[in-house]
Chain A
Amino acid sequence: MAIEGADLVKAAALLGAGISMGLGAIGPGVGEGMTAAKACEAIGRNPKEAGLLTRTMLVGQAVAESTGIYSLVIALLLLFVV
């Protein structure tokens, strides 16, 4: 099959979208899971502060999530804009 320039560029963008979101999902997934594991531990040690600890966990996870969202944005840009 003959490959044209525009086709090659589109293929690279699509492959890039998959790699960006795929690899980009690994870090936040692991990191947020570890955050939640420590939140469980903290609530186990001090159940009275459950509200504060849940809030802190969610804020921490939201920050860790940001790189996952960057990956999603780049993937969507590669899919639909570039």
Chain B
Amino acid sequence: MSLPAFDNLSLTQTAAYIGGAVAMGFGAIGAATGEGYTASQASEAMARDREHAGDIVKNMLVGQAISESASIFSLVIAILLLFMDIPDPGIVKAASLLAAGLCMGFGAIGSGVGAGVPAGRSCLAIARQPAISGRITTNMLIGTAVCQTPAIFAMVVSLILLFKPTAGVAAFPTGAALIGAGLSTGLAAIGSGYGGGLAAGASCEGIARQPETATAVTTTMLVGQAVAQTPSVFGLLVSFILMFRTFPASSTLSASVALFSAGLCMGLGGIGPGIGNGATAEGAVRWVARRIEYAGDLMRIMLVGQAVSQSTAIYAMVVSLALIFVV
């Protein structure tokens, strides 16, 4: 059996359609899971406190809307991939469009699940302390917004990949570099999105338990979430290098594989530290709410613990940069 002879346009369209399917298919996982969790917690909250069902439903819908935004980004990218005009069809354009779909598809998973966690926990928190429901919803909104950052990074990289001019660029190794760029930001976003959600969930719970600690709890949450976002920033950095550096044309397989592998390494390597940093922040935030007098000690131990957990993401970045610049 011989491969069908593709012309440039049909090759590029094939890649665009597969990319669109991947973007929406994977992109739907996170938001749906997160929103389902939110609704389950809202049901539980209403069973505990029938009187404030209205506040709880309102809070649930606002939280779900933010969680949904990750999959809306995916929908936008998928529709663009299906219907956009394709200038300069060819191998590089095909790689670029496939990478855009991969990036947005993977990138929406973590943020969707992550944003669902604080949205759900805040419903339970309102059932516990209906008097401060406004403060709880505000805290939930801040927390979920930070969870969306990795999905926004993924959308930015996807849009750059969609509209990047590719005329006159040598197919190898640039095509492989672009797929690596998509994987780097997309995969690294999974951990940071979910990790940020863990921290935000604990803060909603903490504010309901001890309303007077709200300021310290929100601050600890934001610091913890910021550290949890670092792996996705590393992913973005590697993506930008892979997208904007000019690689000399090379027909060897190893030159292409090195750049693809660099993106894959940073993407996969960012998942674990993102989740781990978020889990650490969750523990710290929970106990700042209970023992406010030790907030300083808890913040310190959280940052030390997160720094150690971060180290593997740094190893992954070192190997990625070695694959790009040294090999």
Instruction: Scan residues 17-71 of chain B and give those whose CB is less than 8 A from a CB of chain A.
Output: none
B315 touches A21 (CB 8 A): yes
B327 touches A32 (CB 8 A): no
- Chain A residues with CB under 8 A of B280: 33-34, 36-37, 40
Interface residues contributed by chain B, number (CB under 8 Å): 62
Q: Closest CB of chain A to B223's CB: distance in Å?
A: 13
Kindly state the interface size class of chain A when it binds its partner: 35 or more
Q: Closest CB of chain B to A65's CB: distance in Å?
A: 7
Inter-chain contact total with CB atoms closer than 8 Å: 201
Complex Cα–Cα for A20 and B313 (A):
13
A65 touches B308 (CB 8 A): yes
- Interface of chain A, helix or strand or loop or mixed? helix
Q: Closest CB of chain B to A63's CB: distance in Å?
A: 11
Known pairs A34-B280, A57-B305, A65-B311. 18 more at Cβ < 8 A? A14-B323, A22-B266, A25-B313, A25-B315, A29-B274, A29-B277, A29-B310, A33-B276, A36-B305, A36-B309, A41-B286, A41-B287, A43-B297, A43-B298, A44-B288, A61-B308, A72-B319, A79-B323
Q: Report which B residues bind A (CB closer than 8 A).
A: 172, 191, 195, 231, 251-254, 256-258, 260-262, 264-280, 282-284, 286-288, 290-291, 294, 297-298, 301-302, 304-306, 308-313, 315-316, 318-320, 322-323, 326-327
